[in-house]
Amino acid sequence: MRWLAAVAGLTTLVFQVGIGPASTSARFSAASSSPTSGFTGATLSPAVAPVITPVMAGRTIKLEWNPVNAPRSVAYSVERTLVGGATSTVCLAPSIPIVSNGLVACTDSGAAPDATYTYTELPYIDIPGSTPWSLPRSTSSVPFLVPRLSYLAAGSDVSSTGTSINVPYPTGTQSGDVLLLVSVSGRNKAPTTPTGWNQLVSQGIGGSSSSYLFVAWRVADAGTSVTLDPQANGSGASTRIVNYGRTNGNSATPVVATSSVVSGTATASTTFTPPTNVVTNASNAVVVSIMATNGATSPSLATSMGFTLRLSNNSTPGSGSVSIGLADTNVAMSGSSVSSPTWSQTGTSQAWLFATVAFR
Amino acid sequence: MKTSTARFSMGIGGGLLAIAAMGTLVIGSTLALFSASETSGANAFASGTVTVGLGDTSSVVCNVSGMAPGDSSKAAATGSKTLDSCSYNVKYTGSSTAWLAVDVAVATTGTNLYTAGANGLQFYVAAGSTKIMNGTTYKILDGTDTNVVSGSTVEHILISKTAATTNTAVSFDIDYLLPLLAPNALQGGNTTITLTFRAVQSANQPIGVCEAGRQCNTITWG
């Protein structure tokens, strides 16, 4: 009986080791996990597409905005929308947007004068053949009226005491542009208007502030210069030609866009605002504010009133100094009274000569 | 009859004598008389081991940022093939023979670069010639391609039908591709991949119908 019990016990042991529940639920095993590898997709920064600022650059519209960054090259889809009208893509090859001086810029060379546009841009990662990864399109720029005329350049200053000076047209002048002949002398005497030119202002001051401002204009011809006697004698005169070029697509012959040119003189002061506002008589006109003194420093705009300073110069062409300032703004509506900017001079204050004209 | 009686008498007498002798021996024994003993040699039992360790070559952990459509690692099927591949180098170090397998875990936090589709991030995981994951799929036991689902670990993809022995090295290569047609919605997305190298004793559990490169859930993995 004891043997039988012992054999039965051994059988039970074998069963447990060989085929019992414990043997089927566990095996010798081991495991080891790898470090985790991570993958992150590119993003564009900032997360909101910057707004375009349109500005005139020569005869075309320059569009500028802050760049968007990404791990790869970023391109931009730029659209122009005619206010109340259609949308089209601009800044296409070969004039695609490029980064310059920290800004992205391109040129809209197809904009039409007198039209008002808004612009948007959509940045995207530029990978050929890909579904572009992009930001939502920017909000629209402020409406931009394409001017008929735009400041292009001021020609070389001819500072001389001569009686027959040759004043060159600015580089890039094209037939049909508006040319302004501006001469400031230290002698209170009027020059004779050259042939083919139209006098706008001929204004002088005597005494200690003795000076003279002469302004004439013409539609540019095929010439390259004009001859003038500034009547300056030993005082000398500073004379130059300023070009307001026709924007691309503008084939209209420019005209004066005010029924009365504003001009006059004023006593010496540090700052000066022409007391009479020019009133335009046509839409989309460029208004030009000109001032001159026989001061020894270059003037500036103290309060621009929307004018952009184009020219600020001082020279000593003869026995004395003369200074000149020129600024402009574009005015959309005909009949607008254009608030004058405030000019400023430093050093010993001199009497002011001024003129405000408009063209379209 | 006598003889038989004598025999009987002798038999009885001899038996008594024998009993007496035995009684004498027993009595003598307790009284520390002549004696001897013998002990067997020790029987030893030691189990085999199943262990894994790092391989002899360093692994490459990927931390790829700024991926753009078309980016891929050097051994990917298509794409730029300019980015570094990842690797996980391991070694079976146990003394017992073992079956080897790998688990694959794809995961994300936030926007997922991996979509389990053709336009999302693709992974190409292999152990030598054995493909573990091909793009977005792995093979189940019967060889059917099945999507790897992000956030759910795919377990026990067999590496070889030959049991591994001590110091069997395994190198997992992970290549990847973000297709050119990856949609804009994947911008800034992220994905991770983690492999788990497994070994289990091969003794007493035949591999059966399992095949290398397929999920093997018919044996016990621990």
In a domain, residue B2? The reply is no
What residues of chain B lie within 8 A of the CB of A28, using their CB? 47-50, 94, 96, 98, 200-201, 222
Q: What is the pLDDT of residue B20?
A: 43
A33-57 pLDDT per residue, tens = 999 999 999 999 999 999 999 999 9
pTM: 0.79
Lowest mean pLDDT, pick from A2-16, A298-312, B62-76, B205-219: A2-16
| Distance, CA of A289 to CA of A311 (rounded, Å) | 11
pLDDT at B18 over 50: no
Q: What is the pLDDT of residue A355?
A: 97
In a domain, residue B210? The reply is no
Q: How confident is the model at residue A13 (pLDDT cuts 50, 70, 90)?
A: very low
Domain boundaries, chain A: 2-144, 149-359
Predicted ipTM beyond 0.95: no
Q: What is the pLDDT of residue A26?
A: 82
What residues of chain B lie within 8 A of the CB of A35, using their CB? 59, 61, 88, 194
The answer to whether the Cβ–Cβ distance between A42 and B192 falls below 8 Å is no
Looking at the complex, does the CB of residue B169 fall below 8 Å from at least one CB of chain A? no
Candidates A318, A354, A358; CA nearest to A230 is: A318
What residues of chain B lie within 8 A of the CB of A132, using their CB? 184
Examine residue A254 and say whether the peptide bond preceding it is cis (omega within 30 degrees of 0): no
DSSP string covering A225-238 = EEEE----GGG-EE
A81-126 pLDDT per residue, tens = 999 999 999 999 988 999 988 999 999 989 999 999 999 999 999 9
Strand-pair category, A103-108 with A37-41: unpaired
Strand-pair category, A278-279 with A337-338: antiparallel
What residues of chain A lie within 8 A of the CB of B53, using their CB? 32
Neighbours of B118 (CB within 10 A): 11
- Report the phi/psi class of residue B131: left, alpha or beta, with left for phi > 0 and alpha for psi in -120 to 50: beta
Number of structural domains (chain B) is: 1
In a domain, residue B64? The reply is yes
In a domain, residue B38? The reply is no
Residue from the list A35, A71, A132 with its beta carbon closest to the beta carbon of B66: A71
The answer to whether the Cβ–Cβ distance between A25 and B220 falls below 8 Å is yes
Instruction: Taking residues A209-224, report their average pLDDT.
Output: 96
Q: Which of residues 66-105 of A touch B (CB under 8 A)?
A: 70-72
Strand-pair category, B63-67 with A271-272: unpaired
In a domain, residue B102? The reply is yes
Interface test with B, best of A28, A43, A126 (most B CBs within 10 A): A28
Q: What is the pLDDT of residue B30?
A: 52
Burial of residue B41 (number of CB atoms within 10 Å: 0-12, 13-18, 19+): exposed
| Distance, CA of A27 to CA of A22 (rounded, Å) | 10
DSSP string covering B38-102 = --PPPP--------EEE-SS--B--EEEEE-TT-BBTTSSSS---BPPEEEEEEE--SS-EEEEE
CATH number of the domain that residue B167 is part of: 2.60.40
| Distance, CA of A317 to CA of A231 (rounded, Å) | 13
Instruction: Taking residues A70-76, report their average pLDDT.
Output: 95
What residues of chain A lie within 8 A of the CB of B198, using their CB? 29-31
Q: What is the pLDDT of residue B88?
A: 97
Q: What is the pLDDT of residue A25?
A: 59
Instruction: Taking residues A68-72, report their average pLDDT.
Output: 96
pLDDT at B17 over 50: no
B157-188 pLDDT per residue, tens = 999 999 999 999 999 999 999 999 999 999 99
> How many distinct helices (H) and strands (E) make up chain A?
2, 28
Q: What is the pLDDT of residue B32?
A: 66
Q: Which domain holds residue B67?
A: 52-201
Residue from the list B176, B180, B194 with its beta carbon closest to the beta carbon of A36: B194
Based on its alpha-carbon atoms, the radius of gyration of chain B, rounded to whole angstroms, reads: 35
Phi, psi of A10 (to 5 degrees): -65, -40
CATH class of A2-144: mainly beta
Residue from the list B61, B180, B189 with its beta carbon closest to the beta carbon of A37: B61
- Between vectors from CA A215 to CA A221 and to CA A326, what angle results, nearest 5°? 100
User: In angstroms, what separates the C-alpha of A85 from chain B's closest C-alpha?
Assistant: 29
Phi, psi of A338 (to 5 degrees): -95, 115
pLDDT at A18 over 50: no
In a domain, residue B20? The reply is no
Q: What is the pLDDT of residue A10?
A: 33
| Residues A311 and A324 sit within 8 Å (Cβ to Cβ) | yes
Neighbours of B119 (CB within 10 A): 16
Q: What is the pLDDT of residue A151?
A: 97
Q: What is the pLDDT of residue B175?
A: 98
Strand (E) or helix (H) holding B198: strand B190-201
Q: Count of A–B CB contacts within 8 Å?
A: 162
Q: What's the whole-number average pLDDT of chain A?
A: 92
| Distance, CA of A284 to CA of A115 (rounded, Å) | 10
Q: What is the pLDDT of residue B171?
A: 97
B96-153 pLDDT per residue, tens = 999 999 999 999 999 999 999 999 999 999 999 999 999 999 999 999 999 999 999 9
